């Protein structure tokens, strides 16, 4: 067996390489983000958008570096870019899902998340704040909605994981309605990103990666107009999109599985 194949198929070697890739990317990205965060304090115009693009580039670079062990393929990667501003919704199986957003081509994306990433990933928190990412637990509901709608008016697409948390079983959980309510209120399309297999590669609670392929299906945007006549248009939209995920979500065979 050649050194190249051994390096690729040995789980420990693969993990060492993946961790080095993450470390190198973070080492480059973090100082840049701190400088930008400092400039943001000086209220330099356009800083939020620049930071969002930098974070997207960081995700994309990380995906490229880990691609020998975790290849990522995506169908229609420019769907969100062609329909911006939009609301990107994705199933959530792994922390890798955040990086996987770098596989699609819309770089000006604003992540809507709970408070914990700002606490646990404290070293990324200045970058997240500088990018204008929205912490759902930091604001009252009305202010939160207003800020999200403002981002959309500025032409920035929003990213939400409507399950609310990473799946602990790999199965799709029920969706929360916030993303769909925003889509209806703003009249912007929902762009579903169906992520296959990130759970098998790095499930919540795992310490090691299991090298394997991740496939992302970027579905056609779902317009809100056809749901306008419903009693609760956002809930009808939610159910429709949830059904799309249920229909599309299927396990992807492991590349290394014989």
Partner 1 sequence: MQEKEIKDIVDAALADEFELDRASLVDDAHIREDLGLDSLDIVDLVIVIENAFNFKLEDRSKLAGIQTLGDLYRFIRDIYEHKSFVEK
Applying CB under 8 A, which residues contact partner 1? Answer: 141, 164, 174-178, 181, 231-232, 235, 239, 242
- Report which DSSP code applies to 122: T
Tell the smallest beta-carbon distance from residue 245 to partner 1 (Å): 12
Nearer to partner 1 by Cβ, of 65 and 232: the residue is: 232
Nearer to partner 1 by Cβ, of 239 and 254: the residue is: 239
User: Element (H or E) spanning 145, and its range?
Assistant: helix 141-153
| Token pair listed for 149 | 């709608």
Strand extents, DSSP E, the chain: 72-75, 87-90, 109-113, 134-135, 157-160, 190-196, 214-218
Tell the smallest beta-carbon distance from residue 47 to partner 1 (Å): 31
Tell the smallest beta-carbon distance from residue 85 to partner 1 (Å): 21
Query: How many other β-carbons are positioned within 10 Å of the β-carbon of residue 170?
Result: 17
Nearer to partner 1 by Cβ, of 137 and 154: the residue is: 137
Give the whole-angstrom CA distance, residue 249 versus residue 238: 16
**Cβ contacts of residue 242 below 8 Å, gap of 6+?**
172, 174, 175
Tell the smallest beta-carbon distance from residue 14 to partner 1 (Å): 37
Tell the smallest beta-carbon distance from residue 183 to partner 1 (Å): 13
Nearer to partner 1 by Cβ, of 92 and 242: the residue is: 242
List for the chain the helix, strand, coil content (%; round to 5). 50, 10, 40
Nearer to partner 1 by Cβ, of 151 and 242: the residue is: 242
**Side-chain-side CA neighbours of residue 228 (13 Å):** 9
């Amino acid at each position: 067996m050649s050194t190249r194949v051994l390096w690729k198929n040995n789980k420990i070697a693969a993990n060492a390489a993946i961790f080095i890739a993450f470390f190198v990317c973070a080492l480059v990205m973090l100082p840049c983000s701190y400088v930008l965060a400092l400039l943001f304090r000086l209220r330099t115009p356009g800083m939020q958008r620049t930071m969002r693009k930098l974070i997207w580039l960081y995700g994309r670079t990380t995906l490229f570096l880990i691609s020998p062990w975790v290849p990522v393929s995506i169908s229609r990667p420019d769907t969100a870019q062609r329909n911006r501003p939009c609301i990107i919704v994705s199933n959530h199986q792994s922390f890798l899902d955040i990086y996987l957003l770098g596989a699609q081509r819309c770089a000006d994306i604003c992540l809507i998340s709970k408070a914990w990433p700002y606490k646990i990933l404290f070293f990324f928190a200045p970058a997240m704040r500088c990018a204008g990412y929205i912490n759902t637990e930091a604001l009252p509901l009305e202010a939160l909605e207003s800020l999200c709608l403002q981002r959309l008016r500025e032409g920035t697409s929003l990213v939400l994981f409507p399950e609310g948390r990473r799946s602990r079983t790999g199965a799709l959980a029920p969706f929360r309605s916030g993303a769909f309510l925003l889509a209806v209120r703003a009249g912007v399309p929902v762009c579903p990103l169906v992520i296959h297999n990130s759970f098998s590669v790095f499930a919540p609670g795992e310490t090691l990666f299991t090298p394997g392929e991740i496939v992302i299906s970027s579905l056609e945007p779902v317009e809100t107009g056809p749901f306008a006549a419903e009693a609760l248009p956002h809930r009808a939209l939610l159910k429709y999109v949830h059904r799309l995920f249920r229909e599309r979500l299927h396990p992807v065979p492991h590349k290394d599985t014989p």
